[in-house]
Chains A and B, each alone.
Chain A
Amino acid sequence: MRRVPVREVLRGAARASFHLATGAGLSLVCYVMIGLMLLAATATACVIGAGMLPETVRVLRGLAGFERRRTAAWLGVPVPEKYLPLDQGSLLERVRSAATDPGTHRDLRWLAAQLVYGLTLCYAAMLLWPLGLLVDGVWCGLARRSAVLLPRLTDLADLQARISRLLLLPSPSARLSERVDELAATRAGAVAAHGAELRRIERDLHDGAQAHLVALSMRLGMARRAHERDPAAARSLLDAAQDQAEEALADLRHVVRGIHPPVLTDRGLVGAVRALAAGSGLEVSVVARQLADGPEDGARAPAAIEAAAYFVVAEGLTNAAKHSGAERAEVELRREEKLLRVRVRDEGCGGADESAGTGLLGVRRRVAALDGAVWVTSPPGGPTVVEVELPCVW
Chain B
Amino acid sequence: MRVVIAEDNALLREGLVLLLGSAGHEVAGVAATGPEVLPLLLEQRPDVAVLDVRLPPGFRDEGLRAALDARRKLPGLPVLVLSQYVEETYAAELLGGGAHGVGYLLKDRVGRVDEFLEALERVATGGTALDPEVVTELMSRGRGGGPLDGLTPREEEVLRLMAEGRDNTTIAQALVITERSVHKHIGNVFAKLGLPPSDSGHRRVLAVLAYLRR
Q: Which residue of A lies closest to B64 (CB)?
A: A266
Q: Which residue of B lies closest to A294 (CB)?
A: B60
Q: Which residue of B lies closest to A297 (CB)?
A: B58
Q: Which of A245, A246, A262, A267 has the most CB of B within 10 A?
A: A262
Residue of B60, B108, B141 touching A249 (CB-CB under 8 A): B108
Contact with B along A256-290 (1 / 0, CB 8 A): 11000011011100000011001101000000000
Q: A262-B85, A278-B88, A278-B89 are in contact. Are A295 and B58 (CB under 8 A)?
A: yes
**Complex formed: what's the CA distance from A274 to B90 in Å?**
12
Contact with B along A232-271 (1 / 0, CB 8 A): 0000000000100110011001001100001101110000
Q: A246-B111, A278-B92, A281-B141 are in contact. Are A265 and B85 (CB under 8 A)?
A: no
Cβ B112 vs Cβ A242 within 8 A: yes
Residue of A250, A263, A265, A267 touching B59 (CB-CB under 8 A): A265
B137 at the interface (CB under 8 A from A): yes
B118 at the interface (CB under 8 A from A): no
Cβ B89 vs Cβ A279 within 8 A: yes
**Complex formed: what's the CA distance from A257 to B85 in Å?**
9
**Complex formed: what's the CA distance from A50 to B26 in Å?**
96
Residue of B54, B58, B87 touching A275 (CB-CB under 8 A): B87
Contacts of B108 in A (CB 8 A): 245-246, 249-250
**Complex formed: what's the CA distance from A250 to B92 in Å?**
22
**Complex formed: what's the CA distance from A274 to B87 in Å?**
12
Q: Which residue of B lies closest to A321 (CB)?
A: B141
Cβ B89 vs Cβ A275 within 8 A: yes
**Complex formed: what's the CA distance from A295 to B137 in Å?**
25
**Complex formed: what's the CA distance from A267 to B93 in Å?**
13
B61 at the interface (CB under 8 A from A): yes
B84 at the interface (CB under 8 A from A): yes
**Complex formed: what's the CA distance from A92 to B98 in Å?**
81
Contacts of B92 in A (CB 8 A): 278
Q: A266-B61, A281-B141 are in contact. Are A253 and B85 (CB under 8 A)?
A: yes
Cβ A279 vs Cβ B111 within 8 A: no
4 additional A-B residue pairs with CB within 8 Å, beyond A265-B60, A266-B87: A246-B108, A249-B108, A267-B61, A274-B89
**Chain B residues engaging chain A, CB cutoff 8 angstroms:** 53-54, 58-61, 84-85, 87-89, 92, 106, 108, 111-112, 137, 141-142
30 A-B pairs with C-beta separation under 8 A? A246-B111, A249-B106, A250-B108, A256-B85, A257-B85, A262-B84, A262-B85, A262-B87, A263-B87, A263-B89, A265-B59, A265-B60, A266-B53, A266-B54, A266-B60, A266-B87, A267-B60, A267-B61, A274-B89, A275-B87, A275-B88, A275-B89, A278-B92, A279-B88, A279-B89, A279-B137, A279-B141, A281-B141, A295-B58, A295-B60
Closest 5 CB pairs of A and B: A275-B89, A281-B141, A266-B60, A266-B61, A249-B108
